[in-house]
Structure 1
Amino acid sequence: MEIMQLHKSPLFLKIIFIVSLAIIFFIGAITFKHITVLKKTSTWISKSYEVNIELERLLSHVKDAETGQRGYLLSKNKSFLKPYDDSNEEIKKSYKRVAELTVNSRAQQRNLKKLQYLISRHLNYLSKTLYLVESKGYNEKIVSTNLVTGKEAMDSIRVEIEEMITTQKNLLQYRQNDYNSTMNYTPLLIYLTLLITLILITIAFIKMNRDVVLLKNTVHTLSVAIEVNNLSEIIGNFGSWQLNLETGTYTFSDNQYRLLGCEPQSFEACAHEYLKFIHPDDLEILTEKTQNIKSHNILPPFTYRIIRENGEVRYLKSMGQIVTISSDNKTFIGTTRDITSEIDDQILTEERNRELESNNKELSAFNYIASHDLQEPLRKIETFISRLVSKDFNNISASGQQYVGSIQKSTNRMRVLIEDLLQFSRTNKTEKNVVNADLNYLLENAKHDLAQAIEEKKAIIQSNNLPTLHIIPFQIQQLFINIIGNSLKYSKKDVAPIIKLTYSQIVSNEEEFLPNTHHCYHKIAIEDNGIGFEQEYAKNIFVLFNRLHNKNEYQGTGIGLAICKKIVENHKGFITAKGNLGVGSQFNIYLPVE
């Protein structure tokens, strides 16, 4: 991962650039050195040719001197002495030139010194012979001897010059070979230099092209991101701002202006202009919060009011923090959001909470009335009817006795209805003491409360081992009482009720009724063999005051199962009913696993 990041880093590009320059300079240096060697070799070859030519010229000048001397000796014509006289100067020039050309060759310098001696010796013999001939009474034998000696000196000169030419040819051959070798490698080196340069230029072009494409894509992405951010600010009803801590200059987004009720970029982005929109009562708060913005790394969220140009008051919430864009550039970025609707909703919620609190007080008063004031006259009616039946029932006519019975039944139903309403009201209360409770213990308490009805109907209640759950104990006990009581109430005539409670733990997607969240639930199924009901009424039986049977057929207020549903909802669970007319019914309770 670090290698991938290094490949994309600017440092990597700088390293590649420096290495490329180093390679180019290195190859350039080698090429320059190679060309210098080539030039030097070419110079040596030229000098070698020139040395040979100059040696040939030197030998020619010596021959000219000898030829002129012989011509004079034979003809006694002094015109033949002109080549002899001129040759001395020419010999010196040629010798000097050869000495200059062979200055770097020790062997040739040694040969050149020897050649100088031989030439001087030969010229001396030539001069001496001329002198003897021009003298009166010269000895021919001596002249002849000088001529022979001069010839020998000339032969020595030829041999020495040939030797020097041979040496120079060998050196020339060596330098020619070196030159040819250098010439053989020169095209390869130039081609290699061009190839490496071309490769580096190609790599640089490809990299630059990729960078340009990447830069283009980045610019496009950044442009889209800016537009998305602008659209997000409009949808989210917020704006953004920046403060360059080095220069002290501000930058406002377009929507920051819109929050103030102004057109984008309609005034200079600065603190002085912004403070003109602040509500006078909140100006001190804003100044206090932002006065140390340069020395703190964060601006905690705070709320203040502004007054738009049209006079509308809006609530804004700002926050921000410092970000370091580069080592020398720190910027404080912040966001400002319009929370006027939230403030209005909060005010509305507080008003509704006050109304709800008032309604709860009225409901508590109703509960008190229902539990005391309403039941008190009902108890008196029951007392008076009871005394009337015990003392004067026989003195009442038959129709009167029937009326008294109807009054007793009505007062009994009224008492049950009031008690059920109180029970439903208590279920709706928010006070919920959630603790770990054993369901087996709560079931036994429920059976104890229903003992008389169980005994009268000879009911059989079966259950497997129930777990200990985090619940509201008295509500779950009431749940058992209501559902088992419902099964007892709607049992078949002359058939002993059999009520079975089974427990299992399931996943939500295993049951069609539950949301498909893969959450685990405790499932408690309560099944009976009663009269059952049509499945189309499965949801209606949990509706408050809803009854499937006439009150003369089965007693009840239509509140018991509504209480059961409310209890299960208090535990964030679900309850369903499944009926089969004439066969029985089953209630399934699902409580979430915590």
Structure 2
Amino acid sequence: MEHIQLHKSPLFLKIIFIISVAIIFFIGAITFKHITVLKKSSTWIAQSYEVNIELERLLSYVKDAETGQRGYLLSKDKNFLTPYYSSKQRIKKSYKRVAELTSNSRTQQRNLKRLQYLISRRLNFLSKTLYLVEQEVNDEKALAENSTIGKLAMDSIRTEIEGMIVTQKSLLRYRQQDYNSTMNYTPLLIYLTLLITLILITIAFIKMNKDLVLLRNTINTLSVAIEVNKLSEIIGNFGSWQLNLETGKYTFSDNQYRLLGCEPQSFEAGREEYAKFIHPDDKELLDKNTKNILTHNDLHPFTYRIIRKDGEVRYLKGTGEVVTFSSDNKIFIGTTRDITSDIDDKILTEERNRELESNNKELSAFNYIASHDLQEPLRKIETFISRLITKDFNNLSPSGQQYVSNIQKSTNRMRVLIDDLLQFSRTNRTEKNFEETDLNTLLENAKQDLAQTIEDTNAIIKINNLPVLDVIPFQIQQLFINLIGNSLKYHRQGIPPIVEITYAEVISNEEEFLPDTYHNYHKINITDNGIGFEQKYAKNIFVLFNRLHNKNEYKGTGIGLAICKKIVENHKGFIFAKGQTGVGSEFTVYLPVE
């Protein structure tokens, strides 16, 4: 599995995004909380100020009632009683407001109950004094006592209100401290969270910027790849198509249209439209091979015919398979190649194979004729000539004897020619059965076949140790027979032939005549001290029936070296010749190292 670093994966951006959103929500929650606290603190401060004002107002209303009563007592003018009566309602309303504002303070609620008692007591004494005056009860002692008790009640009210104001100021101070504390660490917290968010967003921005650069490069690379693919389809004479297995929608490449003889994207890609170009005889084949795409998820290669827009019949080969993307979206991708030229080449090859088979049959017939029909009359001629020489040769005239001798020589040459042709034919037709063989053994067998000639010419054969190779044994033995026999045949008169055979393993680029491929080869050299030849004929001597000397000078048919060349080619090797007139010749055989 390919290892993907976290910071390079799309998951990293998702994590950064989620963390950033979470931090923003966290900042929002903290900010909302602190704004709520600040709002509540502000409300509490405003309430504290309003409570103090309302308490002072409540005290003022009580004083108004007391002042109105005192004015009436002094002047007996009932107009002074107006503040007295109206102050009761105001006191009640003010008291209710204070009760509402201090509803969340148990201490102030307790203080407020005592204040209510004191105010009620003070108003009762005011009412009692007013009643005594209105009834004209001149009880100085009672009036004085009411005035004294009323004064004490008023002092108690004043003291209680002052206490409540002090309590409210203390509560206000506590709330002010709480407000200041909240204000002190709120900016720091918000700053830190914003800083962290900014860092994360910066990291995400850098990552996205790198991804955008990478995306641009990838898009450019893909654009080039798409163009290369389009050119490849044109050069390779194939097209491609896609089938979305989820939506059932087809997509054809431009060259897929060209294979049909149409302009790119000239019709909507689809099975029905494509089927219009299928050869009628191959529609059933196409349906059979494509009906299992959805179940088998692949399309085995098969060949079918189409009729192009211009009416030309072409052979196409289709194949494909399902590709699953990361989004679990399955796409069937197929290719279609025009193999008409391959089919034509195959037909041409089959025709040529038939011709070759016919030629081989003719060659076999020729070999049969050469080995039977031609040799039969030749054997009869040889028999009759032999009998003529035995019985009637002396009865012939000198010219007749010369004619008989010429006929005998010609039949012998004919015999050698037929044998050589059969040998060359067998070299071409024999199955190439390679075996691991010791070349020294094959060389010894060749010497045995040439023993009489070696003895007649007093030849010296010098042999280097040869390797064990994977070869066709009888062909390599024939190669040695022909090359050594050639050296013995073309020796210089009066000089015993010396044939030297050496071996080495070489590299092709170090040899003069081999291709520069750095391959290893087995190199076998056969040199002699014979009559040699001119180097300009080095290639001609391997041509069938080619002779460098007159047939009256040296026996031969010009087939032996052609057989050598064919044997070396059967082993995927090379053979070269070098010669110098009057000095000798050198034949070099290269066999590849497996």
Task: Please confirm whether the aligned pair reaches a TM-score higher than 0.5, indicating the same fold.
Answer: yes
Relative to 1, partners in 2 of residues 1:122 and 1:489: Cα closer, same or farther, differing over 3 Å? farther
Match of 2:92 in 1: 92
> CA separation in 2, counterparts of 1:155 and 1:588?
146
Match of 1:502 in 2: 503
CA contact (8 A) 2:16 2:201 kept: no
Letter in 1 for 2:461: I
Structure 1 residue 475, shift from structure 2 partner: 0.6
1:48 aligns with 2:40: no
CA contact (8 A) 2:385 2:408 kept: no
Q: Deviations over 1:307-352 (max 9, x none)?
A: 4555544334444455557988766554443333333222222222
Q: State the percentage of identical aligned residues.
A: 75
Structure 1 residue 359, shift from structure 2 partner: 1.9
> CA separation in 2, counterparts of 1:184 and 1:233?
72
Letter in 1 for 2:46: S
Structure 1 residue 373, shift from structure 2 partner: 5.0
Structure 1 residue 43, shift from structure 2 partner: 0.9
Structure 1 residue 300, shift from structure 2 partner: 3.9
Match of 1:366 in 2: 366
Match of 1:4 in 2: 4
> CA separation in 2, counterparts of 1:271 and 1:147?
115
Deviates more, 1:31-40 or 1:257-266: 257-266
1:42-191 matched pairs, under 5 angstroms: 42-66=42-66, 83-127=83-127, 136-139=137-140, 147-191=147-191
Match of 2:458 in 1: 457
Match of 2:36 in 1: 36
Letter in 1 for 2:35: I
Q: Deviations over 1:221-242 (max 9, x none)?
A: 6555555444444333344455
Letter in 2 for 1:528: T
Structure 1 residue 305, shift from structure 2 partner: 3.9
Structure 1 residue 539, shift from structure 2 partner: 4.6
CA contact (8 A) 2:438 2:466 kept: no
Structure 1 residue 356, shift from structure 2 partner: 1.5
> CA separation in 1, counterparts of 2:502 and 2:87?
147
Q: Deviations over 1:78-122 (max 9, x none)?
A: 666555554444333333222211111122222222333344444
> CA separation in 2, counterparts of 1:497 and 1:578?
16
> CA separation in 2, counterparts of 1:22 and 1:537?
94
Q: Deviations over 1:228-266 (max 9, x none)?
A: 444444333344455566666655554444444445555
Match of 2:527 in 1: 528
Relative to 1, partners in 2 of residues 1:177 and 1:588: Cα closer, same or farther, differing over 3 Å? farther
Match of 1:351 in 2: 351
Q: Deviations over 1:445-476 (max 9, x none)?
A: 11211222333334133232522x33211111
1:74-473 matched pairs, under 5 angstroms: 83-127=83-127, 136-139=137-140, 147-191=147-191, 225-241=225-241, 252-264=252-264, 274=274, 277-286=277-286, 288-289=288-289, 296-308=296-308, 310-321=310-321, 333-374=333-374, 380=381, 384=385, 415-455=415-455, 456-464=457-465, 466-467=467-468, 469-473=469-473
Match of 1:26 in 2: 26
User: Is the partner of 2:4 in helix, strand or coil?
Assistant: helix
Letter in 2 for 1:41: S
Relative to 1, partners in 2 of residues 1:27 and 1:518: Cα closer, same or farther, differing over 3 Å? farther
1:575-590 matched pairs, under 5 angstroms: 575-577=575-577, 587-590=587-590
> CA separation in 1, counterparts of 2:296 and 2:453?
75
TM-score (norm 1): 0.79
CA contact (8 A) 1:119 1:157 kept: yes
> CA separation in 1, counterparts of 2:484 and 2:569?
19
Relative to 1, partners in 2 of residues 1:464 and 1:137: Cα closer, same or farther, differing over 3 Å? same
Deviates more, 1:377-386 or 1:314-323: 377-386
Letter in 2 for 1:346: K
Deviates more, 1:28-37 or 1:568-577: 568-577
> CA separation in 2, counterparts of 1:408 and 1:314?
66
TM-score (norm 2): 0.79
Deviates more, 1:195-204 or 1:565-574: 195-204
Structure 1 residue 381, shift from structure 2 partner: 6.0
Relative to 1, partners in 2 of residues 1:373 and 1:188: Cα closer, same or farther, differing over 3 Å? same
User: Is the partner of 1:526 in helix, strand or coil?
Assistant: strand
Deviates more, 1:360-369 or 1:535-544: 535-544
Deviates more, 1:35-44 or 1:240-249: 240-249
> CA separation in 2, counterparts of 1:31 and 1:512?
92
Deviates more, 1:213-222 or 1:435-444: 213-222
Letter in 1 for 2:458: K
Q: Deviations over 1:384-433 (max 9, x none)?
A: 38975998589976x99998887777665555444333322221115222
CA contact (8 A) 1:487 1:499 kept: no
CA contact (8 A) 1:382 1:411 kept: no
Relative to 1, partners in 2 of residues 1:490 and 1:62: Cα closer, same or farther, differing over 3 Å? farther
Deviates more, 1:200-209 or 1:60-69: 200-209
CA contact (8 A) 1:464 1:503 kept: no
Structure 1 residue 9, shift from structure 2 partner: 7.1
Letter in 2 for 1:499: E
Deviates more, 1:529-538 or 1:568-577: 529-538
Relative to 1, partners in 2 of residues 1:361 and 1:190: Cα closer, same or farther, differing over 3 Å? same
Structure 1 residue 154, shift from structure 2 partner: 4.1
> CA separation in 2, counterparts of 1:76 and 1:89?
23
CA contact (8 A) 1:439 1:466 kept: yes
Deviates more, 1:529-538 or 1:227-236: 529-538
> CA separation in 2, counterparts of 1:309 and 1:78?
123
> CA separation in 2, counterparts of 1:451 and 1:180?
128
Deviates more, 1:450-459 or 1:255-264: 255-264
Deviates more, 1:217-226 or 1:558-567: 217-226
Match of 2:573 in 1: 573
Which blocks of at least 5 consecutive residues in structure 1 are unaligned? none
CA contact (8 A) 2:527 2:587 kept: no
> CA separation in 2, counterparts of 1:70 and 1:187?
59
Relative to 1, partners in 2 of residues 1:265 and 1:2: Cα closer, same or farther, differing over 3 Å? closer
User: Is the partner of 2:104 in helix, strand or coil?
Assistant: coil
Q: Deviations over 1:15-38 (max 9, x none)?
A: 655554444333322222221112
Relative to 1, partners in 2 of residues 1:87 and 1:314: Cα closer, same or farther, differing over 3 Å? closer
Relative to 1, partners in 2 of residues 1:242 and 1:72: Cα closer, same or farther, differing over 3 Å? closer
User: Is the partner of 1:355 in helix, strand or coil?
Assistant: helix
Structure 1 residue 46, shift from structure 2 partner: 1.2
> CA separation in 2, counterparts of 1:513 and 1:334?
49
User: Is the partner of 1:116 in helix, strand or coil?
Assistant: helix
CA contact (8 A) 2:316 2:338 kept: yes
Letter in 2 for 1:114: R
Relative to 1, partners in 2 of residues 1:59 and 1:430: Cα closer, same or farther, differing over 3 Å? farther
